[in-house]
Amino acid sequence: MAQQFDARPVRARQTLDAVAAGQMESEALEVRLRAPLIRITREAYDVRNRLVEFARDLFRPDRIQFVAQLEAPTS
């Protein structure tokens, strides 16, 4: 990304929420219409505050594991 587009993510926001499956999602994920799904939305920005990544993913709650690893900066 840095070489081809002169953009490198420096900050990102990721949101996790629950949504109901629509017709397309219920067929693709093999769940009933309006079944609960987990949605993860991610936006990443470069140093010039340009949006360089956007993702919106849907998951079945019975087939997801969410892991967050946090580290404090070392000095």
Instruction: Output the tens digit of pLDDT for each of the chain's 75 residues.
Output: 778 777 789 999 999 999 999 999 999 999 999 999 999 999 999 999 999 999 999 999 999 998 888 888 887
Whole-number Å distance between alpha carbons of 57 and 3: 27
Closest by CA position to 21, among listed 7, 35, 10: 35
Residue pair 43/57 in contact by the 8 Å Cβ criterion: no
Q: From 3.10.105.10, 3.65.10.10, 3.40.1410.10, 3.40.50.300, which CATH number describes the 2-62 domain? A: 3.40.1410.10
Hey, how many other C-beta atoms are within 10 angstroms of the C-beta on 52?
Answer: 19
Q: What is the pLDDT of residue 12?
A: 94
pTM equals 0.78
Distance CA 11, CA 27 (A): 34
